[in-house]
């Protein structure tokens, strides 16, 4: 699997976990076909290559061999990865999948399709478009928050990684200079966001510098003398090497790149951008849907959900129009906490309430625990309402809640957010995938966005059976989130394919959701910086709901929601077309 690419998603969306073995076994007494043996050996080779290519990911999985290494973000590395992907596909072409076990035929399909779609994307220069206000070169220090520092050497290894990230900042400077010359730039709002974050970091005192914070605790595992020596070395490096490199990058962004950054917001305005977006739509949805088709699906969903929202407004006896009701939800103090601590406790209480309902929907629950903690304040103003980081070596999964400006974080969002980010959403699904047995390791960490986020959005609907939307305002919050993902289909395709303005996108949100303007602006800016990814949620949810309804109709009284859910999640993250095949197998097996 392409773990270099996966890791960039992992550290933005938080999808990562812990491995316990490097291979898997065949439970058969028959002598395997030579192709079977060749495939098994190649899977182990590919996994080892993946760990070496993605050292931070290896560390998160408990593999300590590369604890002082980082992945390069250079253009050369981008094309080296393309060569490796071609090599993988060449090896697979020499193996006849018909000679493999049924389980390995699925493994073969998943590995092959993963490398094929990635290699297809290599013809587009994604390295020019990496600036992202939600994460990237400006906040490498956040990666350290996912690691355990158990001795002096682990801190020294992290210091070596900081040095590696310094080189990546230099690489980013050169890459963006080249992109500027060739007409590949990010929109001005993205550039402003990244440069503002770098500028804020450069203004910090050394003791409060985000790259130094991790080293404040080195005294817990080292002698006072060793701790002080390392801390002084780190401070000296930050002051004399790291900060000057960031300063040079900051100066370039503000003085050269920003003035020439695009006024337009859609990727269609860069060379071959329209074709590029068509690829991104296929990549993120694992379908052949075109941007135009996705746009129309979004419009239909917006109309359907809007009708449900109107019913809630009538139910609560609101006498004004739709927009006045939304304004009421955005501004009335009854819907907001005064402090971040109150907000955090409400998230934690809701998560405990939901935990109790899980046995009503699933037979199998993950072993890994999860906690609810705040999003770091240095990134909170620039990121979304919540996100999830799955278990890593020695750490539970974490559902991160944004406590910045609690006055714009409505109470009616808490139930729907919690079922999406924790259980039965991301924590449940991703942890079960990591805990799969007798599968090659790439399967445990394969992250198909349409499946992972489609399941998260489907989970929001499961809150209905738990009773967490019994309050009509909480139900309106759930519909707001469903509407949010439907609007995404319209605004993402609108901005990147149909020449929509940012104002067009913001207005569609304001007209149809109860989300606050702070959230809406952050969300729209996220779609601008990350074209196509937002399409996966609703497309995945619609397919899962379609397959559930199909199973209910086919099985009638024999349909069991717990069996259906367990089956859906038993394969890890898979493309939607393969998911449909697996549900058909479920129906056939249950019909006998």
Mean pLDDT of the chain: 93
What tokens appear for 45 in the block? 């080779």
Specify the pLDDT at position 25.
52
pTM: 0.91
| 3-state SS record for 442-454 | HHHHCCCHHHHHH
pLDDT of residue 310: 97
pLDDT of residue 145: 85
Distance of CA 488 to the CA centre of its chain: 16
Six token digits for residue 333 = 């103090």
Q: Is pLDDT at 395 greater than 90 in this prediction?
A: no
Encoded tokens for 417? 């957010």
Strand order in the sheet with 370-374: 370-374, 397-401, 386-389
% the chain with pLDDT above 70: 95
Look at residue 23 and give its three-state secondary structure: coil
Q: Give the span between the Cα atoms of 538 and 527, in whole angstroms.
A: 14
Confidence (pLDDT) at 20: 35
State the average pLDDT over residues 113-137: 96
Domain layout of the chain by residue ranges: 1-123, 128-266, 276-541
pLDDT one-digit tens code per residue, 7-63: 333 433 333 333 333 445 544 556 789 999 999 999 999 999 999 999 999 998 989
Indicate the range of 20-24, 160-164, 394-398 predicted with least confidence.
Answer: 20-24
């Amino acid at each position: 699997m392409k773990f270099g690419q996966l890791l960039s998603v992992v550290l933005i969306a938080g999808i990562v976990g812990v491995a316990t073995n490097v291979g898997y076994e065949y439970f058969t007494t028959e002598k395997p076909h030579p192709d079977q043996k060749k495939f098994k050996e190649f899977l182990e080779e590919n996994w080892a290559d993946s760990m070496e290519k993605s050292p931070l990911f290896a560390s998160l999985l408990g593999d300590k061999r590369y604890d002082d290494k980082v992945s390069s973000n250079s253009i050369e590395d981008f094309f080296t990865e393309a060569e490796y992907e071609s090599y993988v596909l060449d090896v697979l072409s020499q193996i006849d999948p018909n000679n493999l076990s049924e389980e390995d035929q699925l493994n073969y399909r998943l590995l092959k399709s993963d490398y094929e779609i990635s290699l297809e994307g290599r013809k587009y220069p994604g390295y020019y478009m990496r600036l992202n206000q939600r994460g990237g070169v400006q906040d490498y220090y956040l990666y350290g928050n996912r690691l355990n520092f158990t001795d002096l050497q682990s801190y020294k290894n992290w210091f070596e990684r900081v040095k590696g990230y310094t080189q990546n900042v230099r690489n980013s400077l050169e890459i963006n200079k080249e992109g500027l010359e060739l007409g590949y730039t990010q929109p001005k709002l993205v550039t402003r966001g990244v440069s503002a974050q770098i500028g804020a970091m450069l203004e910090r005192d050394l003791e409060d510098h985000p790259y130094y914070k991790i080293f404040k605790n080195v005294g817990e595992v080292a002698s006072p003398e060793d701790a002080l020596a390392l801390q002084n070395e780190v401070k000296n490096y930050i002051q004399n090497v790291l900060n000057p490199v960031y300063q040079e990058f900051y100066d370039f962004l503000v003085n050269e790149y920003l003035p020439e950054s695009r006024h337009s917001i859609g990727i269609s305005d860069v060379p071959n951008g329209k074709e590029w977006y068509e690829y991104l739509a296929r990549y993120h949805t694992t379908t052949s849907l075109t941007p135009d088709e996705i746009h129309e699906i979004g419009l239909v969903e917006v109309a359907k959900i809007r009708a449900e929202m109107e019913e809630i407004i009538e139910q609560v006896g609101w006498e004004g129009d739709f927009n006045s009701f939304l304004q009421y939800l955005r501004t009335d103090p009854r819907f907001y906490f005064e402090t971040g601590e109150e907000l955090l406790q409400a998230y934690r209480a809701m998560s405990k309430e939901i935990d109790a309902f899980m046995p009503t929907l699933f037979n199998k629950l993950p072993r890994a625990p999860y906690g609810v903690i705040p999003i770091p304040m240095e990134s909170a103003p620039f990121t979304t309402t919540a996100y999830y980081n799955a278990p890593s070596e020695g750490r539970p999964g974490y559902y991160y809640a944004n406590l910045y400006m609690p006055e714009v974080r409505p109470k009616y969002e808490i139930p729907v957010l919690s079922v999406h980010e924790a259980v039965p959403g991301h924590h449940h699904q991703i942890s079960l995938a990591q805990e799969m047995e007798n599968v090659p390791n790439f399967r445990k960490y394969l992250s198909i966005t349409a499946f992972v986020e489609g399941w998260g959005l489907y989970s929001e609907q499961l809150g209905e059976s738990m009773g967490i939307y019994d309050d009509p305002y909480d139900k309106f919050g759930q519909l707001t989130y469903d509407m949010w993902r439907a609007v995404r289909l319209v605004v993402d395709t609108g901005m990147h394919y149909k020449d929509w303005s940012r104002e067009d996108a913001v207005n569609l949100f304001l007209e149809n959701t109860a989300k606050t303007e702070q959230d809406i602006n952050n969300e729209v800016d996220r779609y601008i910086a990350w074209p196509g990814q937002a399409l996966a949620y609703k497309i995945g949810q619609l397919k899962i709901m379609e397959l559930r309804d199909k199973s209910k109709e086919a099985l009638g009284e024999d349909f069991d929601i717990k069996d259906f859910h367990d089956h859906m999640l038993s394969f890890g993250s898979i493309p939607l077309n393969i998911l449909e095949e697996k549900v058909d197998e479920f129906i056939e097996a249950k019909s006998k």
